[in-house]
Amino acid sequence: MNDLEVKNKKNLSGMQDFPMNLASILEHAARFHGDQEIVSRLASGDVHRYTYSDALMRAKKLANALKSYGIEAGDRVATLAWNEYRHLETWYGIAGQGAICHTVNPRLFSDQIRFIINHAGDRLVFVDPAFVALLEGIKHDLPSVELFIVLCDKDQFPATTLNNAIDYESFIADQSSDFSWAELSEESPSSLCYTSGTTGDPKGVLYSHRSNLLMAYASCSADAFNLSSLSTVLMVVPMFHANSWGLVYSAPMTGAKLVLPGPHLDGANIYDLISSEHVSFSAAVPTVWSMLLEHMTNNDLQLPDLKEVVIGGSAVPKSMIIRFKRAYDVDVLQAWGMTELSPLGTLNRPKPATLKLDEDAQFKMAAKQGRALFGVQMCIKSDDGQELPFDGKTPGRLMVRGPWVVRSYYRSDVVILDDDGWFDTGDIATIDSDGFMQITDRAKDIIKSGGEWISSVDLENAAISHPHVRHAAVIGIPHPKWEERPLLLVKLKDGCSLDDQALKDFLKDEVAKWWIPEDIRFVDDIPLTATGKFDKKVLRNQFVINSDS
C-alpha cells in the first residue's frame, strides 16, 4: 500500500471537514430570508417586530458582549424567560460563542431552581423582568452567578434587590455586530435542560450542536413539522420546556416567519396572534389548545390561516382532534418526546394506508403518538430485554437510541443505556405494523397481573367514560397469587351516585374481564402533583399500606 492507500484505509473521504455550529442556522436565515419577520408579543402586550437579519446582528453583539465579559467555551449561562426575541438571541449568542445555554424552567419550585442553577454552575443569568422576584428569593444561595442580565431596555429596568444586575440592552450596546462564530467540534455542548423528575433531584440533559442540528433537519421534513419559507410558526411551547421542541432551530432553518407569544398563553391572546399574524402552524401542550377552543366556541370565531397544530407533552384526547378538524379544518399532529430526546421522538402523520380508512378509524389512528423521525431508532422490549413485535397489540418498554438521545445526565459518568445502547424511556407502548407507536402507560404505573400487563391509563379511561365519573385513578396493589391487581379510585361528579357493582358491570363492555378491579373505592378527592397529574406515589403510600394492613 502506498500512502494514499493507507489514507484511504484510514477512512477519510474527500468531503470537507465542516462541523456545523448552531449559529449557522441563524446565518442561513439572515442570508436567504433576511427580511422574514420575527414577531414577539411582549409582557406589556405590545408587539415587537424585526427580521432574521436583525436577530443575527444582535446575537453577534451579544456574543461579543459575552466574550468581552470573559465567558469561555463550555461555561454555563442560564436563561429564565418567556418566548420573545431577546430570549431567541441568547440561544444563538451563547451557543454560537461556544458556551452552554441553560434554559431554566420558571414554573419549578424555587428550591428546584436553586438546585439547578447551582448544579449547572451558571455564571450569568438572563432573566425576564417577570422572574426577577423569583431570583431575589434565592439570590443568597447562588454562589456561581456573577451577573444577572434583565431582558429589557434600560428605562424598563425593574427595582430589584439583586446585586450585579444590568439590563440586556446596556449589556450589548457598545458591542460590534461583527463576530466569527466559534469553531467547535460538532459534538460540543450547546445547551442544557433539566428534567423535572417526580422523584429525586432534577437531572440535566446536555445537548450538542450536532444533536440539535440533526433533530432540526429531521423535524423540518414533510412528514414531521413540514416547515418551509411559506410557513408562519407560532411557537407556544416555551423555550424553557424541553428545548422548545427544536423550533428555535427548525423555524429559522427553513426561513419560516416566527411568532413568539411572550407570557400570553390564554385563549384570547393566542387566538389574536394566530389571527393577526396569519399563523399556519403552531405547537403546544393540550391545555393551551383547550383554552383556545373554549375561547373560539364562546365567541364564535374561526381561524382560516391555521392548518396544523402539533400537540405533545401529554396524550391528546380524540375529541380534541375531531373538534379541530370538523369545526376548524385544522389537522392535529400528535407528537411524543421527552427532555432526554432533545425532545422529539415521534410525530403522527398519516401514511397512504391511513388515508384509505374511514374517518373514525383515521381519528383513532391520529390519537396514537406516531412514527419515529428518521434518526431515532425505536423498539419495545419485554422486562427481560427481548424485542417485542410491531403488532399494535403487544405492549413493551419503549426504548430509543440515536444521535439526539441522552447517554448520561449532566455531571454524571453513569451511562444510562442498556447493553445494546438503548435508552429506556420509562413509557410502555405498542407499535403497529405501520410503525405507529402508542403510549399505553408509564412503566411505573402499569399493573403486572398474572404475567400480563394491565394499562392503568386504559383502565382509567374506561372508568371515566361512565357518565357519573369525574376522575379515576388506578394503582397496582400486591396480590399473593397474581403478583398485582388493580385498585380503582373514583371521584364521582357532583350529585351523582354509583355503586361498585354497577361500575364493574359497566366496565365489562369496556375492558377485558380479567382487568376489572375487584376493589373499587369512591373517594372525595384524588391528590395531584405540581403539574396536575394524579400523584400515584401518594396514592400508593396511602392505599398499598392500607391494603397490606
- Active-site annotation, residues: 195, 340, 448, 453
Those residues with Cβ within 8 angstroms of residue 491's Cβ, 6 or more apart along the chain or in another chain: 469, 470, 471, 472, 522, 523, 524, 525, 526
Shortest Å, Cβ 356 to its own copies: 12
Calpha distance 183→298 (Å, rounded): 53
Distance CA 327, CA 493 (A): 28
Within 348-367, the residues that bind its own copies by CB under 8 A are 349-353, 355
Site size with its own copies, rule: CB under 8 A: 83
CB contact set of 524 (below 8 Å; sequence gap of 6+): 491
One residue of 319, 357, 374, 493 binding its own copies per CB under 8 A? 374
Q: Interacting stretch for its own copies, rule CB under 8 A, among 81-89, 122-130, 251-259, 460-468?
A: 251-259
**Residue numbers 97-136 binding its own copies by CB under 8 A:** none
Tell whether residue 159 is a contact of its own copies (CB under 8 A): no
The number of angstroms, rounded, from the C-alpha of 300 to the middle of its chain's C-alpha atoms is 31
Nearer to its own copies by C-beta: 126 or 207? Answer: 207
φ, ψ of residue 214 in degrees (nearest 5): -65, -40
* Minimum distance, C-beta of residue 229 to its own copies, in the bound complex (Å): 5
DSSP state of 176: -
- Least separation in angstroms between CB 95 and its own copies: 11
204 binds its own copies (CB under 8 A): yes
Q: Does 276 bind its own copies (CB under 8 A)?
A: no
Q: Is 258 in the site for its own copies (CB under 8 A)?
A: no
Residue number with CB closer to its own copies (435 or 450): 435
Pick the binder of its own copies from 206, 258, 274, 487 (CB under 8 A).
206
Residue type, 482: W
- Mask 377-416, x = binds its own copies (CB under 8 A)? x------------x----------xxxxxxxxxxx-x---
Q: Give the separation between CA 193 and CA 195, rounded to whole angstroms.
A: 7
Binder of its own copies out of 95, 149, 218, 258 (CB under 8 A): 218
- Dihedral (C-alpha) 445, 451, 453, 454: value to the nearest 10 degrees? -90
CB neighbours of 231 closer than 8 A, spacing ≥ 6? 251, 254, 256, 257, 280, 281
Closest CA to 280 of 252, 251, 309, 248: 309
CA 80 to CA 73: how far, in whole Å? 21
Helix (H, G, I), strand (E, B) or coil at 398: strand
Under rule CB under 8 A, residue 255 binds its own copies: yes
Give 404's DSSP letter: T
Among 96, 262, 375, 486, binds its own copies (CB under 8 A): 375
Interface with its own copies (CB under 8 A), residue from 90, 190, 243, 425? 190
In 70-128, alpha helices (H): 85-96, 110-120
Judged by CB under 8 A, which stretch of 41-49, 88-96, 159-167, 221-229 contacts its own copies? 221-229
Cβ proximity to its own copies, 74 vs 137, nearer residue: 74
Report the SS3 class of residue 150. Answer: strand
**Which of 371, 397, 466, 536: binder of its own copies (CB under 8 A)?**
371
How many whole angstroms separate alpha carbon 180 and alpha carbon 215? Answer: 24
Q: What's the min distance (Å) between Cβ of 391 and its own copies?
A: 13
Q: Which is nearer to its own copies, 79 or 226 (CB)?
A: 226
227 touching its own copies, by CB under 8 A? yes
Of 50, 115, 157, 217, which one interacts with its own copies (CB under 8 A)? Answer: 217
> By C-beta, is 396 or 476 nearer to its own copies?
396
Q: Cell numbers of 174, please?
A: 457598545
Contact positions with its own copies (CB under 8 A) in 431-470: 433-435
Query: At its nearest, how many Å lie between its own copies and the CB of residue 255?
Result: 7
Contacts of 523 (CB under 8 A, 6+ apart): 489, 490, 491
How far is it, in rounded angstroms, from Cα 485 to Cα 476? 5
Listed ranges 88-96, 369-377, 440-448, 536-544: which one lies at the site for its own copies (CB under 8 A): 369-377
Question: Minimal distance in Å, beta carbon 64 to its own copies?
Answer: 21
The answer to whether 282 and 62 are in contact (CB under 8 A) is no
Q: Binding to its own copies by residue 229, rule CB under 8 A?
A: yes
Using the 8-state DSSP alphabet, how is residue 490 labeled? E
Under the criterion CB under 8 A, does residue 241 sit at the interface with its own copies?
no
Residue in 44, 74, 385, 391 binding its own copies, rule: CB under 8 A:
74
Binding mask 319-348 for its own copies (x = CB under 8 A): -----------------------x------
Q: How far is the CB of 213 from its own copies (least distance, A)?
A: 9
CB 489 within 8 A of CB 472: yes
